[in-house]
Amino acid sequence: MNFNSAAKIAQSQGIKVDSVIVNDDVAITDRSRRRGTTITVLVHKIAGAGAEEGLELKEVKRLAEKVIENGRDIGVALTPCSVPAAGKPTFELGEDEVEFGIGIHGEPGVQRMKYVESWSFAKMMIDKILDDLKLTPGDEVALIVQGTGGTPYMEKFVFYRDARKYAESLGLKVAVSWVGEFMTSLEMQGGRIAMLRLDEELKRLLMYPAYTIAIRNTGPFISTLVS
């Protein structure tokens, strides 16, 4: 609703506007109902790089749609978060429970399950992504592992290690790795894994120089990640 209203205002002012819908969350089976999660950040990054190079609007939209088609994400929560307006946690978990398939606004997941080790989460989440994205051995990917707002960096890097080892054991080529906080849920503890199938165009634009709060690419193929 808000994006459509903004587009109408921009159009009334003579600004060329188009839109895309990101639906990368593989926790939801019906793709028409999927939420936009981590891949939204990569849409901004890659479409923005294309715009910076001077591409026309239709080409920028093509890039955005290409990222959406080739990217998937899933998340898990170890604790809930508290939305300020509500003043209480969005859901409750037992000490040995987690929410699998969470959204990015504090929504509960699609499955409540018992806590397992990091490598088990990584395997379950990557299997979901691979099955939906139809990745095959030899495919080149960007692997994005992030926290959900309250996860220590030590735990994020342990989770990344497990995710990367499993991805490579399946024959995937991890060309780009990001570990950090890119799209979070306040103080929630947990993690998300996203994968983007790469070709030369997407890889170049993903690594195009950028300097933002969360993403700092200092050169064509050098990525510096910050908290």
Looking at residue 32, the DSSP 8-state letter turns out to be: G
Element (H, E) at 85: none
Burial class (CB in 10 A: 0-12, 13-18, 19+), 82: middle
CA pair distance 205, 185, nearest whole angstrom = 27
Helix pair angle (57-70, 39-52), 10° resolution: 150
CA pair distance 17, 7, nearest whole angstrom = 6
- C-beta neighbour count of 182 within 10 angstroms: 24
Name 76's Cβ contacts closer than 8 Å, sequence gap at least 6.
98, 99, 100, 101, 102, 109, 121, 125, 190, 191, 192
At 92, the amino acid letter reads E
Q: Would you please indicate which residues are annotated as catalytic (active-site) residues?
A: 105
Name 216's Cβ contacts closer than 8 Å, sequence gap at least 6.
210, 223, 224, 225, 226
Contact call for residues 209 and 217 (beta carbons, < 8 A): yes
Which residues does residue 74 pair with via DSSP β-bridges, in sequence order? 193
Contact call for residues 93 and 117 (beta carbons, < 8 A): no
